[in-house]
Amino acid sequence: MPKNRYFWIMHTFEELSTLFSETFEKTHFPKEPQTLYEPNNYFLSLGGKRLRPVLCLMANELFGDIHPDAWNVATAIELFHNFTLIHDDIMDKAPLRRGRQTVHSKYSESTAILAGDVMMIRAYEYISRIDLALVQRILELFNHTAVAVCEGQQLDMDYEQRSNVTMEEYLEMITQKTSVLLAASLQMGGILGGGSYGNLDLLYQAGKKIGLAFQVQDDYLDAFGDPEKFGKQAGGDILANKKTFLLIKALEDARGGQKEELDALLAGNDPDKVNRVLDIYRSCKIDDWAIRLKHQFLNEALRHFDDMAVVSKRKLPLKELAQQLVKREN
Amino acid sequence: MPKNRYFWIMHTFEELSTLFSETFEKTHFPKEPQTLYEPNNYFLSLGGKRLRPVLCLMANELFGDIHPDAWNVATAIELFHNFTLIHDDIMDKAPLRRGRQTVHSKYSESTAILAGDVMMIRAYEYISRIDLALVQRILELFNHTAVAVCEGQQLDMDYEQRSNVTMEEYLEMITQKTSVLLAASLQMGGILGGGSYGNLDLLYQAGKKIGLAFQVQDDYLDAFGDPEKFGKQAGGDILANKKTFLLIKALEDARGGQKEELDALLAGNDPDKVNRVLDIYRSCKIDDWAIRLKHQFLNEALRHFDDMAVVSKRKLPLKELAQQLVKREN
């Protein structure tokens, strides 16, 4: 394998995803107590895109061959992400995740609390294996990110109880709950690759924008996606009065009779609620606005990649991935 | 302050407890989101003996002046302990802790899950501040201990569903759930003090035995303690059919009619259940046995301290503390 600074090996998202899965899909937990670890193994077996660890590996490859510790960091990130899913599912009372039972509904709430706890500690175990030259920097960033994700989840729950959430507040919440983990995944990869401070900052900013674009697409698909491709009934967010980019923008933009109709629909349980809200979205052109907003975030992310002092060819896999993420239909 | 190896300053438990509380009782959390952090500040304000951090500081002082990082480690230990209490209270459906509302009963279960999560991450933030020469060793021990505590909690919940828990299983569960954190607190202090591997191992063994003695005393007080001094109604464990040293020993020792009576009492809700079970305990001499067992564990701990290659005078505060812990009446 050529070690020359200009000829290190680079991989596509699919290749890194396969490589990561091969490492990740070994068992992370001992056999006993089976009542604690079987739920964790079950949850990890539900799969997922493994997006965050692959972002870490890709960012590492911007600067050089994959650092041996990148596998530890990527694993820690994915375990941490799964910990947040297990606990969020309890708080959201979600019965299903990826079409399968959530941990608390398959086992019990107590089991899900403890399984999540031990999943998080396991993430820190992978962090503790990192080379001494890097461990403190990664650990600090990891902690900082973990706190932000918890704060984002709390804000999300707080906003469910409020009717007057502003776009600024929603952006801040999504940034904490979703974007900073993508940003930190990229930045950790950059740290492992030995990126300069300037490049590391740009990676973080790009990750935040990718997260926002990702969330706009998520909110858009829930309302306007093809239910067959999206894999769940469209309009779930509308039925649950969930704060989304679309709803907050519609509440800002709707005027007169439309504003009154939207308020009434949110307050009631009209059997045709989904379609009537979608009509308002369309007549206020919220759908077009969302697509523009998504591309705005995407373009900002791409510009951050452009601004990095790295050979352009190296940036291609990450830029392609960012574009795919906001084009996805599920 | 004399820095000579033989003349470093030593403190009593009370002094260290005061010193630690002064550091610890500053605010660990930012103001916002107040819905997340106010519950944590509330819970920490309930106080406690701060036993584990002080054990860490005392073990440090066996070998030299308190290492500046000992305050970070001690704080991390206490925050971790409080995280386990917040989550355990949810799982145990406990309405009160130290006579005040638990987090989930004062706020909500979701808040308590997230508040606990962020308390644990905060503990890791203190670990990340440790000197590079020590961070990996402390982090590994911390993770290892954290996993064991979770496993112990899971075993505790599992055993609640079983009628045939053996003494060996109970000892293993208590070791994980309670003893290893005391053991690790002592060992981390020893690491910070620069103790040899032999001394560190003895500290760990002593901590495990202190934990077991502590639990025997806890189980004993719940059955035979003076309710006025103990601060809660005696017999709570009996009413809840909780596995304790006393119950498991009684189930092993009771014979014939007594065995049948005990089984019947456990299966039913006799209004005089507490007194009748206590009568069986007394007639099987379970009370005397528990006191002997407690002293056996205490003596083993003291012997481990004796075996340490440290000037005897230095060991006195720790030995006194161990004796006080098993003499306590609340």
Residues of B in contact with A154 (CB under 8 A): 33, 35-36, 111, 114
Cβ burial, residue A146 (10 Å; 0-12/13-18/19+): buried
Residues of B in contact with A107 (CB under 8 A): none
Residue of chain A whose alpha carbon sits nearest to that of B139: A128
Whole-number pLDDT of residue A9: 79
d(Cα A70, Cα A189) in Å, to the nearest integer?
7
**Mean predicted confidence (pLDDT) in A274-287:** 96
Confidence of residue B8 (pLDDT cuts 50, 70, 90): confident
Confidence of residue A2 (pLDDT cuts 50, 70, 90): very low
**Closest residue to B136, CB basis, from A87, A118, A128:** A128
| Residue A303 Cα distances to A60, A203, A204, A210, A312, angstroms | 19, 11, 13, 11, 12
Q: Using one digit for the tens of pLDDT, what is the confidence trace for A179-234?
A: 999 999 999 999 999 999 999 999 999 999 999 999 999 999 999 988 777 666 67
Cβ burial, residue A13 (10 Å; 0-12/13-18/19+): buried
pLDDT of B53 > 90? The answer is yes
**Mean predicted confidence (pLDDT) in B229-258:** 88
pLDDT of B101 > 70? The answer is yes
d(Cα B35, Cα B108) in Å, to the nearest integer?
11
Q: Using one digit for the tens of pLDDT, what is the confidence trace for B136-172?
A: 999 999 999 999 999 999 999 999 889 889 999 999 9
pLDDT of A286 > 90? The answer is yes
| Residue A214 Cα distances to A131, A219, A289, A319, B209, angstroms | 33, 9, 15, 14, 53
Whole-number pLDDT of residue A1: 46
**Mean predicted confidence (pLDDT) in A48-53:** 93
Stretch among A235-239, B231-235, B280-284 having the lowest mean pLDDT: B231-235
A143 to B128: CB separation less than 8 angstroms, yes or no:
yes
Which has more confidence, A89 or B229? Answer: A89
Gyration radius from chain B CA atoms: 21
B278 closest CA partner among B316, B323, B237: B237
- B154–A contact, CB cutoff 8 A: yes
d(Cα B309, Cα B287) in Å, to the nearest integer?
36
Q: How many helices (H) and strands (E) does chain B have?
A: 17, 2
Contact between A301 and A206 (Cβ < 8 Å): yes
Percent of the residues in chain A that have a pLDDT greater than 90, as a whole number = 84
A124 to B140: CB separation less than 8 angstroms, yes or no:
no
- B122–A contact, CB cutoff 8 A: yes
Confidence of residue A329 (pLDDT cuts 50, 70, 90): confident
pLDDT of A4 > 60? The answer is no
Whole-number pLDDT of residue B228: 75
pLDDT of A276 > 70? The answer is yes
Q: Using one digit for the tens of pLDDT, what is the confidence trace for B172-201?
A: 999 999 999 999 999 999 999 999 999 999
Q: Determine which of A82, A150, A159, A172 to mutate to test the interface with B (most B C-beta atoms within 10 Å).
A: A150
Confidence of residue B301 (pLDDT cuts 50, 70, 90): very high
pLDDT of B5 > 60? The answer is no
A139 to B157: CB separation less than 8 angstroms, yes or no:
no
pLDDT of A7 > 70? The answer is no
- B151–A contact, CB cutoff 8 A: yes
- A19–B contact, CB cutoff 8 A: no
B147 to A118: CB separation less than 8 angstroms, yes or no:
yes
Q: Using one digit for the tens of pLDDT, what is the confidence trace for A82-121?
A: 999 999 999 999 999 988 999 999 999 999 999 999 999 9
Whole-number pLDDT of residue B2: 47
- From the CB of residue B263, how many other CB atoms can be counted at a distance below 10 Å? 13
Residues of A in contact with B140 (CB under 8 A): 125, 128
- B117–A contact, CB cutoff 8 A: yes
Domain annotation for chain A: domains and CATH numbers = 8-165 (1.10.600.10), 196-330 (1.10.600.10)
pLDDT of B330 > 90? The answer is no
ipTM of the complex: 0.93
pLDDT averaged over every residue in chain A: 93
Q: Determine which of A121, A134, A142, A145 to mutate to test the interface with B (most B C-beta atoms within 10 Å).
A: A121
A33 to B121: CB separation less than 8 angstroms, yes or no:
no
- B35–A contact, CB cutoff 8 A: yes
**Minimum distance, in Å, between the CA of residue B75 and any CA atom of chain A:** 16
Phi, psi angle pair for B167, to nearest 5°: -60, -40
Q: Using one digit for the tens of pLDDT, what is the confidence trace for A189-203?
A: 999 999 999 999 999
